Copies of this chain bind each other. A is one copy, B any other.
Amino acid sequence: MGNEESEYNRPLIHYTPEYGWLNDPNGLFFDKKEKLWHIYFQYNPNGSVWGLPLYWGHATSKDLVNWKHHDLAISPEKDDEGIFSGSIVIDHINTSGFFDDSIDPDQRVVAIYTNHDSNEKQTQEIAYSLDAGYTFTKYKANPVIDLNLTQFRDPKVFWHKQSNQWIMIVVKSQDFKIQIYGSTNLKDWKFHSNFSSGFYGFQYECPGLFEVPIENSTKSKWVMVLAINPGSPIGGSFNQYFIGDFDGYNFAPDDTQSRIMDIGKDFYAFQNFSDVEEGAIGLAWASNWQYGNLVPTTERRSSMSLARRYTLKEININPETKILSLIQRPIIPDSITAVNSIVKTSFHPTINNILSLVAQDSTGLFDFKLRFKIKEKRFSNQEKITFDILVQSQVQDNEIDTVKVGFDAVISSYYFNRAIKNKNFENEFFTDKLSTYMEPLSYDDNNLPVFELYGIVDRNIIELYFNDGAVAMTNTFFMNEGRYPHSIKLVVNNEDSKFEFEQVSLRHLTN
């Protein structure tokens, strides 16, 4: 891993393509035989902006943070066509008939994707791999679903044990319909039902449905995910989700509430991995269509989010009510270790109100974890009771670039600020300031509210997890040319602090 200037804004443990353009994650699956994670993605190898022909790029990882680039996995037939988003299933029992006994049941890889043709018609096609996901053969009788539509895409397929069939979740994009189909062989599909809820936005994309375990329970619920672009209330692209039951034919949501997966600006087209050994794991494209083509990385653009483990849990939403929510926790393997760190199990900032970790030879990779309480229950409306985490670049030309995460105890809310005066990047849609209210994670013996914050900074992306993953916020940021994070500081902005930290960890990491 180098600190090359030219790569100052390439994340180390977030997947980025070697060169070219990347968007939606596709075909995510775990190869149980090789214990290998495969990701595919919308890929333009001919330029670092979105454009046709569009391919499925491919990468693999043993640990979800160190990635190996592979050759193009699936290619369109013509240069004005695209292999659009889709998914991969492992056809263990060879329902498709594509495999024989020479192929390990855990490596019977079938891709289901949208073919976008020269006439902009979108149909669902399938392809199979006889080499565990490296090369694919298109099914000769494609397409498997053709409704003669231009806005019909992004099939996510999984095996539904209870009803003994393959299920496809796909969108009639501009008709705002998530469609559910069933099949016994991945080739012949029968329409079951439509689902629609939440925000319309402009159109639906990249739907998904997966079973998510409820914490401290043997139960699970089904989570329907839906990407909307544009039309996020925050601007551009975002991912919604709905919690409910699924019988193989209809998705029955528990309620009509709208829920946002990640309240940052850079988390879109989420997909979960097929064939994981336990629980639910997925990741998203860490950019936004409002500016994804314009960010100041030239030879390649966009990265994925970290892979996250998903569970469901009842969380406090106000003093009276708990609701079942998606909990997201990044998967960070033990191979990622601290170069240096500041770790405290108790920090009373009355005495010492700044903790500063400066990396000598920075990797650009940091994380921080805070567990704190607020020592008073009420504040007057005009008090300022805050602390900040500052992520800062090395000093260059007497300038320093800063990204900030802070907490305001008076309104119990986190704020995030990525405003950086960048000579090479100014964009009116690159929202600088984001925020979220947080209810306390718990209360201590004196009934004082307790909060937790985990953040991971990787060159030009920061993922924030509030209250042990109850709320996530993912944002990219762009420091000036050659600059990237070199220090991380906790700054408490009050003389007589109202905060008490039970845990502070600031770490400079290496992969």
Q: Are B433 and A257 in contact (CB under 8 A)?
A: no
* Contact digits for A378-389, partner B, Cβ 8 Å, 1 yes 0 no: 001110000000
Whether A139 sits at the interface, judged by CB under 8 Å, is no
Chain B residues near A253: list those with CB within 8 A: 256
Q: A200: CB under 8 A from chain B?
A: yes
Whether A317 and B432, one on each chain, are in contact in the complex, defined by CB atoms closer than 8 angstroms, is no
Chain B residues with Cβ below 8 Å from A413 are: 230, 235-236, 290, 429
Within 8 A of B (CB), among A150-177: 151, 174-176
Give CA–CA (A321, B294) in the complex, Å: 29
Also in contact, A382 and B256, with CB within 8 A (given A429-B433, A434-B235, A439-B202): no
Interface segment, one of A76-84, A191-199, A483-491: A191-199
Across the interface, do B319 and A174 meet the contact criterion of CB distance under 8 Å? Answer: yes
Bound together, the chains give a CA A117 to CA B107 distance in angstroms of 67
List A27-55 residues whose CB lies under 8 Å from chain B.
Answer: 49-51
Residues of B within 8 A of A51 (CB): 381
Q: Please state if B197 and A257 are interface contacts (CB–CB under 8 Å).
A: yes
A435 touches B439 (CB 8 A): no
Q: Is the CB of A230 within 8 A of B320?
A: no
* A318-350 interface bits toward B, Cβ cutoff 8 Å, 1 = contact, 0 = none: 111101000000000000000000000000000
Q: What per-residue 1/0 map shows which CB atoms of A415-442 lie under 8 Å from chain B?
A: 1010100000000111111111101000
A246 to chain B, nearest CB (A): 17
Provide the bound-state CA to CA distance between A71 and B470, in Å.
47
Q: Is A203 an interface residue (CB 8 A)?
A: yes
Question: Does A289 make an interface contact (CB < 8 A)?
Answer: yes
- A200 adjacent to B317 (CB under 8 Å): yes
Q: Does A186 reach chain B (CB closer than 8 Å)?
A: no
A411 at interface, CB cutoff 8 A: yes
Is A408 among interface residues, defined by CB-CB distance under 8 A?
Answer: yes
Residues on B with beta carbons closer than 8 Å to the beta carbon of A411 = 230, 289-290, 429
Contact B382 A174 (CB under 8 A): no
B433 close to A415 (CB less than 8 A): no
Q: Is the CB of B174 within 8 A of A320?
A: yes
- Complex CA distance for A198 and B255, rounded to whole angstroms: 9
Query: Which residues of A approach B to under 8 Å, CB–CB?
Result: 49-51, 151, 174-176, 196-203, 230-236, 253, 255-258, 260, 263, 289-290, 293-294, 317-321, 323, 380-382, 404, 406, 408, 411, 413, 415, 417, 419, 428-437, 439
7 new A-B contacts at CB < 8 Å, known A235-B413, A404-B428, A433-B433: A174-B318, A200-B317, A290-B411, A293-B382, A415-B429, A419-B432, A428-B435
In the A-B complex, list the 4 residue pairs whose CB atoms are closest, starting with the nearest: A230-B437, A256-B256, A415-B428, A174-B320
* Chain A to chain B contacts (Cβ below 8 Å), 19 pairs: A175-B320, A176-B321, A197-B256, A200-B323, A230-B411, A231-B437, A233-B233, A234-B234, A235-B434, A236-B413, A253-B256, A293-B382, A294-B382, A413-B429, A415-B429, A419-B432, A429-B435, A431-B431, A431-B434
